[in-house]
């Protein structure tokens, strides 16, 4: 279900408690994507977001604050969580969103991706020691923009996105056949969420894949045919694991006009 944020100037696709399934800016507004030049511990990262949005002087109405512009978060974790560990972390994370008064009724409107970089035992390539903020997205006014901007939240091969181990597709099986099944499911979720937001693949300029397993066969048989016009932007492959043990393939999508480094 697509829900209007009463103050944020965007709509969000209803998800589960820790995150929405995606966000799309309202007419006359756009979503700006920001990557941190240096990842920060996630709570410190929220302080950085707060300062950045306040400096943007976003809120022009008495019924909104600058924090209501925030619409998506991207985290990096030290290692995949157990399912219970993920639920426990989400409880802390959601408490911050609630303190910021970002919920719409009982719904969390903020899209999210959370993945775990692999430790390659190299000083320059190590996972963080704690969950960190990698990037975020927010909404700004733009009466000149002539296209929609959106973020599709991260999803792995977890049926219905419900946080129970019974929902995992072929857990522990990373054979080529199993990985194709997982990738097929995730790509279907991406397509469904994109269409659920009212968008299509011609709006997408960043297709992000998070897995440590080879994309041979998956890329040409599963991803590219569905991407259609978005294929010309290529695919960003992040050598990371999804956030929960036994999830092996995750994706998210960005369709934005402006990318910033902070």
Find the mean pLDDT for residues 228-239: 96
Statement: residue 39 has pLDDT above 80? yes
Cβ count within 10 A of residue 84 = 11
pTM of the model: 0.94
Q: Which SS3 state, helix, strand or coil, does residue 74 take?
A: strand
How confident is the model over 60-103, as pLDDT tens digits? 544 568 999 999 999 999 999 999 999 999 999 999 999 999 99
Cβ count within 10 A of residue 208 = 19
Q: What pLDDT is stored for residue 58 in this prediction?
A: 56
Q: Are 15 and 192 in contact (CB under 8 A)?
A: no
Nearest to 251 by CA among 171, 173, 182: 182
Measured in Å, how far apart are the chain's first and last C-alpha atoms? 33
Q: Which SS3 state, helix, strand or coil, does residue 8 take?
A: coil
Which contiguous run of DSSP H or E holds residue 87? helix 83-99
Find the mean pLDDT for residues 183-204: 98
CATH number belonging to domain 2-261: 3.30.1330.40
């Amino acid at each position: 279900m697509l829900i209007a944020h009463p103050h944020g100037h965007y709509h969000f696709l209803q998800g589960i408690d820790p995150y929405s399934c995606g966000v799309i800016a309202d007419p006359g507004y756009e979503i700006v994507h920001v990557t941190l030049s240096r990842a920060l511990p996630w709570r410190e990262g929220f302080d950085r977001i707060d300062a950045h949005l306040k400096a943007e002087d976003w809120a022009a109405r008495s019924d909104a604050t600058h924090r209501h512009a925030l619409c998506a978060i991207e985290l990096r974790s030290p290692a995949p969580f157990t399912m219970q560990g993920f639920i426990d972390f989400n409880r802390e994370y959601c408490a911050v969103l609630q303190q910021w008064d970002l919920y719409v009724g009982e719904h969390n409107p903020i899209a999210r991706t959370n993945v775990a970089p692999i430790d390659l035992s190299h000083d320059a390539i190590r996972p963080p020691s704690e969950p960190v903020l990698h990037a975020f997205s927010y909404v700004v006014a733009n009466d000149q923009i002539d296209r929609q901007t959106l973020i599709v939240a991260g999803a792995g091969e977890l049926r219905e996105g419900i946080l129970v181990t019974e929902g995992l597709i072929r857990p522990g099986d990373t054979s080529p056949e199993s990985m194709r099944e997982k990738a097929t499911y995730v790509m279907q979720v991406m397509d469904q969420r994109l269409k659920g937001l009212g968008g299509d693949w011609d709006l997408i300029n960043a297709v992000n894949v998070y897995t440590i397993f080879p994309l041979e066969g998956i890329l040409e048989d599963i991803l590219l045919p569905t991407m259609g016009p978005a294929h010309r932007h290529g695919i960003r492959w992040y050598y990371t694991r999804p956030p929960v043990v036994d999830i092996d393939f995750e994706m998210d999508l960005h369709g934005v006009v402006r990318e910033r480094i902070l």
